Amino acid sequence: MNSQRLAQLSQRMSLITLLLIVAMLLLNTALWLFPVLGSSADGLGFGFALSDRQIQGRAGQVALFPGWQILGCIVLSSIPLMALVSGLNHLRRLFQSYARGEYFSSDAAQRLGKVGRAVAVWVLLDFLCEPLLSVWVSMNEPVGQRLLTLSVTAPSFVALFLAACISVIARILWQASEVDSENRTFV
């Protein structure tokens, strides 16, 4: 692939990443405002991460929540997503630097490292926010029917593994950028 095509592809990936960020936040909000969109048996199949796990099987109840409770659900379920948004934004900016032909810059390596860290923080915040969200969702239930949930899922382990891989690759690219910089000074 020539450098011009690679630059165009990188620019497209930057735009797609931005659209993914916006879609992810809008979908999370929409799931709480319109729980019938969720992936539960009575939904349309548009489940999304932490929100989906809390709405699943109770879309009818969630639809009756007062506005303040829905707002709390949106905020609590968005906390982990904000870490992911940060990582995706670094990825978007990495694609933009690739589109400018900056392949071996230390800045590009640092951005990739930030993507890996953001994915790890996303998994951690998802794990920590789930109990808070489950209590928030079930707070108006009668005593004995309130929930405190905590889940460790296989996708979480996969995301952590990928975050570690991305961080290692970022470190390798940073080292490569240092070697490239040294080589340029000798030439």
Instruction: State the pLDDT at residue 96.
Output: 95
* Contact between 94 and 88 (Cβ < 8 Å): no
CA-wise closest residue to 115 among 75, 163, 50 = 163
* Contact between 5 and 54 (Cβ < 8 Å): no
Q: What is the mean pLDDT of the chain?
A: 88
* Contact between 155 and 123 (Cβ < 8 Å): no
Overall average pLDDT of the 138-145 stretch? 86
Give Cβ neighbours of residue 31 (< 8 Å, ≥ 6 apart).
Answer: 37, 38, 46, 47, 48, 51, 52, 55
CA 15 from centroid of its chain's CA atoms? 16
Rounded to the nearest 10 degrees, the angle between the axes of helix 67-99 and helix 106-137 is 170
Instruction: State the pLDDT at residue 41.
Output: 58
Question: What would the pLDDT profile of 32-65 be if each residue is shown by its tens digit?
Answer: 999 887 755 555 666 667 788 888 878 888 888 9
* Contact between 30 and 37 (Cβ < 8 Å): yes
Q: For residue 142, which phi and psi values (nearest 5 degrees)?
A: -65, 160
Q: Which amino acid is at 104?
A: F
Question: What would the pLDDT profile of 67-121 be if each residue is shown by its tens digit?
Answer: 999 999 999 999 999 999 999 999 999 999 999 988 878 899 999 999 999 999 9
Q: What is the domain partition of the chain in residue ranges?
A: 3-186
